Structure 1
């Protein structure tokens, strides 16, 4: 297993949920953090929480659906931290409803964040990673990206797209020793899903579980990687 200490990571959706848990877990490993979320204030809160860690921080409040904003933000973070060794494309939104009830505007917003946001972040940070000739990209998809369900057509379609993007990108950049992985977790107890039906939240997968897994995956020797991983709650119902 390789050490992560001294590496740099770019995390989107870093102010809550899976992104926040990933920031906490990587900080414990000594990874310098570039954090992106829509709210700069919320990012400052996580930075203050982790201030005792012996690492450097940089952050940017940005709408990842807007390419120009992303390019400027990533350049700013790279100026402060250097080119990234790790990219975690976590930021995402969802919408529910029958197919005919989901507006075109809602469809476009889901795709602009979940798919194009991943594209914008990766396009901005990948060149620096390629120059290093090594790195890791982890894209957070969903079980909804493997199996469509009633009432989730827009979200599911966007997460299927993330898997297709991850597969194709992996084939392109593996020659630069860059590992591209996609995670497809089942329901995770986060702000996005909390209160979703009558259930015991303590029995569902937690954001910290995904963060722990990502750290373990990143520690694998560079010669190997896990292309996709489906994580399920053991007995949630």
Structure 2
């Protein structure tokens, strides 16, 4: 039997249902209400919302896009590789929701603003921004060219800033929204041969905390996530992990985490959080 109808129960009925549970119903009836009804009142339904996922053509971004689409969220993805974006859009549409894409570089404010506005127009609105796009060039301070170091900062830091600034007017007008800024544990503690990446992610953490402080009064939840190494294309190609699915975090693990955070009741805000492989 389908239980999708339970997700449509207004939260205002929660109190009445709790009273019913205190009446003398048979044990199985109470168990049903606790397991299926109350759970869907506490957990927010994100079906029908509109999301933009930057860097959504592959890796973590694609995994999050598909996880949201599985929940009935209409999803737009951005990136620089149009072929990857087209493939992702087809997979999203196959799940029965609307999808769109835009090709632009995160280090160009004009492109980001134009691209985001185009996607909002295609979706109809924007409720969720997953600020995921980023690059990872690694090397020693001594050997890495300054131009490369600067590009990492421009993409990883300014890209987050540009995208959030572009969606903010729409969320403010709607009276609510969710922005998930993807940083890294490297932003909490730097290491050798990752100065550019670590510095960019540390800056994202601080930027995201400032966003949260400014925008939470507008009912916009800004969430800062600092995942450890995940078996993404970037991590594997950069030699950070072998990506062993038995021991190393997979993109799908991260996507499930993001999905569950977004489904929390709007009175709750996960300001920041980290996720690690148990025993890599």
- TM-score w.r.t. the length of structure 1 is 0.97
Give the match for residue 76 of structure 2.
34
Q: Which has the larger radius of gyration?
A: 2
Structure 1 residue matching 2:93: 3-state secondary structure: coil
Does the CA-based 8 Å contact 2:232-2:243 persist in structure 1? no
Alignment check: 8 A CA contact 2:229 2:235 kept: yes
Is 1:206 aligned with 2:234? no
Map of 1:18 onto structure 2: 60
Alignment of 1:117-196 (within 5 A): 117-194=159-236, 196=239
Which residue number in structure 2 is paired with residue 84 of structure 1?
126
Identify if the C-alpha distance between structure 1 residues 173 and 100 changes in structure 2 by more than 3 Å, giving closer, same or farther.
same
Stretches (4+) displaced over 3 A: 197-200
| Cα separation, partners in 2 of 1:197 and 1:93, compared to 1, 3 Å | closer
Q: C-alpha distance in 1, partners of 2:240/2:144?
A: 20
How many correspondences in the alignment? 236
Aligned equivalents of 1:50, 1:219: Cα separation in 2:
19
Where is the helix percentage greater, Structure 1 or Structure 2? 2
The range that moved more, 152-161 or 33-42, is 33-42
SS of aligned partner of 2:265: coil
Q: What residue number does 2:151 align with?
A: 109
Please state how far the C-alpha of 1:11 moved relative to its aligned partner: 0.3
Unaligned runs of 5+ in 2: 1-42
Residue by residue over 1:159-189, the C-alpha shift from the partner in whole angstroms, topping out at 9 and shown as x without a partner, is 0000000100000000011111111111100
Structure 2 residue 139 is the aligned partner of structure 1 residue 97? yes
Provide structure 1 residue ranges, at least 5 long, that are not aligned to the other structure: none
Tell me which of the two structures has the higher relative contact order, counting C-alpha pairs closer than 8 angstroms and 6 or more residues apart: 1
Secondary structure at the counterpart of residue 234 of structure 2: coil
- 1:94-152 C-alpha deviation (Å, 9 max, x unpaired): 11111121111011110111000111111111110111111110011001010010111
How far apart in 2 are the matches of 1:125 and 1:90? 14
State the TM-score, normalized to the length of structure 2: 0.82
